[in-house]
Amino acid sequence: MGVNTKKLIQKYNLKLTKSLGQNFLIDDNIVKRIVDVAEITEKDLVIEIGPGVGSMTVELAKRAGKVVAVEIDKRLIPALEDNLGEFSNVDIINKDIMDVNINEFRGESGNVKVVANLPYYITTPIIMKLLEENNDNIDIMVFMVQKEVAQRMVASPGKKDYGALSVAVQYYTKPEKAFDVPPHCFVPQPEVDSTVIKLKVNETPPVKLMDKDYFFTVVKAAFGQRRKTLVNALHNFKALGKSKEEIKEILKKLGIDENARGETLSITQFAELSNLLFRSSQIM
Ligand code: SAM
């Protein structure tokens, strides 16, 4: 079980860094299951974020046409190269994923898949970058994340986990929880449970928006003060510049109770609301 990963850590005398989220997978069965979820074929170009010493990269390299592995920590690169020695279809990039332009990559079939056992300190920024930055070349993303984050991604309106991340993930993709992974499958063991989640990128968005940035501003405003009613939360978000009366009138048009909180609105309702608010800003 994950003998290679443990051996490499010893051989290169690696001190794993908590601040970089370095919890390495040592369970080969879990590795195989993650790669299964991504449905990798030899036509695929796979981008792996944070390969570490390559616990998962080896399995990806066996199945994909090409793997691009982006690792921030240069201390790990020699061990990673050692582990991947026999594969000629892997490019290792020693960079922060936040500085990589994902759009540059195209696989044989056109699109790319992203697979990662994500560093937990930066999960949401990485996912938001992948969703937002015009990455229309991504088909499927499979991530290991903290269990609670997976719950937030799939949460439906009215549930306590439903928030801005749920709306963003569900606007861009169809999220599906695959399976849970306990701490003992990693070295060192994380203090939290983990879940593998598959995000299948939508070819067309589930709702029509007049202005996408405006939609996400409304969502951010609504969840920024989630204990307040939607009317107060939107009114207090000064960048929107809306009076309470205006907001109430629009909610009435949409058949939404004026005492409703943002967390009860579906993505469709957020879309209708933001479109009407946007239109009224254009008229003024
Ligand atoms: N894929 C390996 C595995 O499953 O064993 C390692 C996963 S570990 C949870 C996260 C990896 O991401 C670490 O190797 C860490 O150095 C790397 N990492 C952390 N922040 C990063 C960033 N901003 N860009 C690229 N890699 C990063």
The boundaries of the domain holding residue 185 are 5-201
Amino acid identity for residue 28 in this structure: D
Instruction: Give the integer Cα–Cα distance in Å for 33 and 148.
Output: 20
- pLDDT surpasses 90 at 111: no
User: Given this model, what pLDDT does residue 136 score?
Assistant: 86
Q: Do 52 and 168 fall within a single domain?
A: yes
Q: Is the CB of 22 under 6 A from ligand 1?
A: yes
Q: Do 180 and 235 fall within a single domain?
A: no
- pLDDT surpasses 80 at 115: yes
Q: Is the CB of 25 under 6 A from ligand 1?
A: yes
In a domain, 80, yes or no: yes
Tell me the two tokens of residue 183.
């701490």
Residue whose CA is closest, atom 10 of ligand 1? Answer: 119
**Phi, psi (degrees; rounded to nearest 5) at 177:** -70, 135
User: Comparing C-alpha atoms, which of 76, 113, 73, 112 is closest to residue 96?
Assistant: 73
Q: How far is the CA of 58 from the centre of ligand 1 (A)?
A: 15
Task: Convert the pLDDT of each residue in 225-276 to its tens digit.
Answer: 888 999 999 999 998 999 999 999 999 999 999 999 999 999 999 999 999 9
Query: How large is the average pLDDT for residues 77-86?
Result: 95
Q: Confidence class of residue 108 from pLDDT cuts 50, 70 and 90? A: confident
Q: What is the pTM of this model?
A: 0.95
Task: Convert the pLDDT of each residue in 146-201 to its tens digit.
Answer: 999 999 999 999 999 999 999 999 999 999 999 999 999 999 999 999 999 999 99
In a domain, 207, yes or no: no
Instruction: Give the integer Cα–Cα distance in Å for 125 and 39.
Output: 25
Q: Do 33 and 154 fall within a single domain?
A: yes
**Phi, psi (degrees; rounded to nearest 5) at 67:** -125, 130
| Number of domains observed in the structure of the chain | 2
- pLDDT surpasses 90 at 281: no
User: Given this model, what pLDDT does residue 284 score?
Assistant: 57
In a domain, 52, yes or no: yes
- The residue whose two tokens read 């908590």 is 18
Q: Is the CB of 24 under 6 A from ligand 1?
A: yes
CA dihedral 150, 200, 39, 52 (to 10 degrees): -50
Q: Do 171 and 131 fall within a single domain?
A: yes
Q: Tell which atom from ligand 1 comes closest to the C-alpha of 144.
A: 9
| Cα dist from 183 to 119, 261, 271, whole Å | 14, 36, 39
